[in-house]
Structure 1
Amino acid sequence: MSQWQPVQIVGGAYADDTRPFSCQDTVNYLPLQAERPGGRSDWLLRSAPGFRQFATTQNKPVRGAHDAEGLFLVVAGRTLYRVNTNGSTASIGTIPGVGRVSFAHNQIENGNQIVIVNGQAGYVWNTVAGALTQITDEAFPGSPIADFMDGYIIGVDPFGRFWFISDLTQATQYSTLDRQDAESQPDKIVTAIVVGDLVLVFGERTGEFFENTGADTGTFQRVRGVTMDVGCASAHARARLDNSVYWLGSDGNVYRLVGNSPQRISTAAIEQAIAGLNWSNAFAQTFEDRGHKLFVLTFPDGHTWQFDVLSQEWSRRQSNGLKRWRLNTLTKWRRQWYGGDFSNGKLYQLDWDEMTEDGAPLVSERVTAVTHADGNPVVVDGVLLVFDVGRVDVGVSDHFCSISYSDDGGHNWSNPAIVSIGKAGEFRRSVELRRLGMTRERVWKVSVSSPAKRDLIAASWKAAGARS
């Protein structure tokens, strides 16, 4: 009689073009490795946080958001809003345009200057004066991004000719003498980002590092002998995370900065998936909570990918009815995380215990690695999944998961079987299917949309040899 044998259920997103080799996918789950022995398994799939509405604006989409030392500002449509702790919003000015905006802020006496750039122009909200003004200095060319270092606001010329800084602690004042172009190789500048005590300036093909020399003019100078032969694909496709920088390279690979060198962290499967997309529209965000440190990379014409520093695994976020995640912004404010919607003016509060997206289904899905017997036929007597069962609230009828399988590498799937993951209090329920036919190899697909925790801990199957 066949015995239960473990099946590899936990893993990241790794769907290769050669699907019978690997069609693994992980959506709205976070792979998490046990940090101590004695657990039910070495890994589990943690339910990714959902969200509920926190605030709403009268405009769409949410183009950018920023926490300036406790002041939460959001640009939705063409309006700059202040978001209050009770979820109310107040319009405080106009930011023209329709594309993404970037924020940075400095400190002035008794307050801050908060810079918002939209690619063509720049604006400053002065918290002391309570006024929004456009940057009119002739030496300011506009910028797609803003950053801050040592009292200076940092920007990039929209035409890629140079990068520049403001005057010291003066976000509205600039000098043509404080501009730098690509020096190691002729290259169009795409973006810049502060990392430690250096500014990393990305071109289309290269990267260079600049340091503050303390000079009155020409304040930042290139660090000699330190360059990278990898550029950045988009002005917004870079982010600081885990004391480093992560970015989408100009070659379609994703990198992490290690020392002063790029380290590839993407996989061939991800690089295949994004090869035909519009890289110039990609944008990066970060999320750090409960030990997870996520670099979140969204392609508006494709998917949203996330790399978790904790597990070193890739997975995907996807909203119901979309290929991508609907959050255009992620901002930590007052120890909570908030996201702005790409299609409306809503702001959401993320919550690990919320298993919907503002009431819409949050579908978690895992497509497993290939289970096989080295080409030998086997009869599958059953499959057993170990969920954190019995967590559904009383009165909620949706406490089911969908299980299907493929015997041809994910090209075709069986009709899904709907199995209960335990209504409220059913903590001993087994999620189990029987009499699943004969195969030489099998891939499992497990989907859950229930508005309750759906952590997936382990899986087993009963399979016995069959006469060929």
Structure 2
Amino acid sequence: MPLIPFARQSKDEPGYSGERLKNYFLRQADGIAPAVVLGRSGLLSKYSLAGPVRAMEDLNGTVYAVAGGRVYRISGGTATDVGGVLDDVNTQMASSSDEVAIVAGGKYYICNGTTTTEYTTGAVTSPIGVAFLDGYFLVIGTSGGRADALTISGLDDGTTFDALDFAFAESSADRLVGIVEDHGEIWLFGSKTIEIWFNSGNAAFPFERNTGARIERGAVAGTMAKEDNAVFWVGQDKRAYRSTGSSPTVISTREIEKTIAAGTLSRAFIVDDRGHKFFVIRLTGQPAVVYDITTGLWCEFSTGVGEVAFAGLCSVRETDGDFLVGTSTGAVATLDKETFQDLGGVLEAEAISQPVAEADFFTINRVHMNIDSGDVDATGRVMLQVSKDGHTWGLEKWRNLGALGQHFRRVTWNGLGTSRRFQFRIRITDAVQRDINGAKYG
């Protein structure tokens, strides 16, 4: 009997599925098994900042980060404090060729690499978001009591704003919650609708709405990101979307939508791990739900033991293509595939198999799993539990993993009983490699 993938994705419906990948994700393999389950890389701290990292931006190879109300320039292995801003969980950043704009706590700031200074933004008196396009910083927020205003900076000068340079996203009467530049266009995210604007070159105000690109779906603040030639966001209906041109495509499953709706949305951002790109939707106090852009499947990320949140809060792609992850602890980290901990703490990996069910009772005498744990000079253990109804789980059955050099370690559990349905849960908490290169039931 050929090896099978142990699990494919997270589907929190134990009645008919209950499958799960937490700090695991699927990769199509076409090898010893049709697919393998890879362990998420651990967060390896590179810099320690003053508080939770709210936002990061790359400017010509230098990363700027906002953490704990301070602005940092990260370059040459050193994080240098270059000024202060209000500490705001919804901090936004954008950059030109020589300036970094920051919107935090209803204020607008420009960092020139040495100092950070607050500036007024013309007609927009309470900014909430910022983007950059064609030499202009575009700022959204409140103007004259309206929460759908857009203003622009001076050309190639993020420090000046003309009070007459403004417009309103008025195709619908909803407030703006975010702004993203993508493919030379500006996406204005409202709570109920999305408008796409472009630079028309109009002398009075250079940006205009594309009247044929209004999207009848809004967004939740802080959940917008772009990657893979697309924009991603969480809608006000708690579904996850990906843009297809100027149209929204639902990427969430019904099970993931249930998890999002039941939780408290925090942030969303992009990371890259082991060649897979991920849209991470962070939830407060529980694991993040994570869309694998590479495969179109869902998994979960968490930091620590149990049903806890992922430490990542934001990310930035550096000029060389690598990602840095800003965390809730103040650490700026990389995802390192040779690190099997998060920021020096436990990185718990858990997988729940697809159910195996028949109309009549049947017996499973043993489960074999091939777990690659041989690159780490440490001995770890793996735990297996059995469920015969998808809801309750049996005793924990622990087995040793292989030592250094044992790359195709077969781990076996015997005498698993008789039922009409079987489901298996494994968990690894030791700091060892944990890729699952196939499973077999016998």
Corresponding residue to 2:269 among 271, 285, 290: 285
Which residue does 2:438 correspond to in 1?
A: 458
- Letter of the 2:426 partner, please give it: V
TM-score (norm. length: structure 1): 0.89
Structure 2: state its 5+ residue gaps: none
TM-score (norm. length: structure 2): 0.94
The alignment's C-alpha RMSD in Å is: 1.9
Which residue does 1:225 correspond to in 2?
A: 212
- Letter of the 1:23 partner, please give it: G
Corresponding residue to 1:117 among 88, 103, 107: 103
Is the 1:232–1:249 contact (alpha carbons within 8 Å) kept by the matching residues of 2? yes
**Alpha-carbon distance between aligned partners in 2 of 1:140 and 1:227, rounded to the nearest angstrom:** 23
- Letter of the 1:13 partner, please give it: S
Which residue does 2:6 correspond to in 1?
A: 9
Is the 1:7–1:461 contact (alpha carbons within 8 Å) kept by the matching residues of 2? no
**Alpha-carbon distance between aligned partners in 1 of 2:423 and 2:164, rounded to the nearest angstrom:** 61
Structure-to-structure mapping, 1:161-200, within 5 angstroms: 161-200=148-187
Deviations 1:416-440 (A, max 9, x none): 1111221113345320011111111
Which residue does 1:325 correspond to in 2?
A: 310
Per-residue deviation at 1:301?
4.4
Deviations 1:357-414 (A, max 9, x none): 12211111111111112x2101211001111243331xx23x21111111111x2111
**Alpha-carbon distance between aligned partners in 1 of 2:218 and 2:208, rounded to the nearest angstrom:** 19
Q: 1:138 to 1:176 in 2, by over 3 A?
A: closer
**Alpha-carbon distance between aligned partners in 1 of 2:262 and 2:372, rounded to the nearest angstrom:** 39
Corresponding residue to 1:44 among 23, 36, 39: 36
Aligned residues: 437
**Alpha-carbon distance between aligned partners in 2 of 1:53 and 1:433, rounded to the nearest angstrom:** 37
More displaced, 447-456 or 422-431? 422-431
SS at match of 1:453: coil
Which residue does 1:358 correspond to in 2?
A: 343
Per-residue deviation at 1:211?
1.2
**Alpha-carbon distance between aligned partners in 2 of 1:337 and 1:95, rounded to the nearest angstrom:** 24
**Alpha-carbon distance between aligned partners in 2 of 1:41 and 1:137, rounded to the nearest angstrom:** 57
Per-residue deviation at 1:121?
0.3
**Alpha-carbon distance between aligned partners in 2 of 1:137 and 1:285, rounded to the nearest angstrom:** 27
Is the 2:7–2:352 contact (alpha carbons within 8 Å) kept by the matching residues of 1? no
- Alignment pair present for 1:400 and 2:387: no
Is the 1:402–1:447 contact (alpha carbons within 8 Å) kept by the matching residues of 2? yes
Corresponding residue to 1:23 among 15, 18, 21: 18
- Letter of the 2:18 partner, please give it: C
Is the 1:392–1:422 contact (alpha carbons within 8 Å) kept by the matching residues of 2? no
Deviations 1:277-330 (A, max 9, x none): 334xx3111113553121111122443111111111111100104621011122
- Letter of the 1:362 partner, please give it: L
Corresponding residue to 1:388 among 372, 378, 387: 372
Which residue does 1:60 correspond to in 2?
A: 51
Per-residue deviation at 1:26?
0.6
Structure 1: state its 5+ residue gaps: 463-468
Which residue does 1:72 correspond to in 2?
A: 63
Structure-to-structure mapping, 1:63-462, within 5 angstroms: 63-86=54-77, 88-107=78-97, 112-127=98-113, 130-158=114-142, 160-234=147-221, 236-279=222-265, 282-321=266-305, 323-333=308-318, 334-342=320-328, 344-373=329-358, 375-393=359-377, 396-397=378-379, 399-409=380-390, 411-427=391-407, 429-462=409-442
Deviations 1:20-55 (A, max 9, x none): 211111111121112xx4x10111111211022212
Per-residue deviation at 1:8?
4.8
Deviations 1:122-167 (A, max 9, x none): 110124xx33211135434242222111111122105623122222
Is the 2:121–2:153 contact (alpha carbons within 8 Å) kept by the matching residues of 1? no
**Alpha-carbon distance between aligned partners in 1 of 2:364 and 2:61, rounded to the nearest angstrom:** 57
- Letter of the 2:360 partner, please give it: N
SS at match of 1:422: coil
- Letter of the 1:73 partner, please give it: Y
Is the 1:383–1:459 contact (alpha carbons within 8 Å) kept by the matching residues of 2? yes
Per-residue deviation at 1:331?
2.2
Per-residue deviation at 1:193?
1.1
Per-residue deviation at 1:187?
1.9
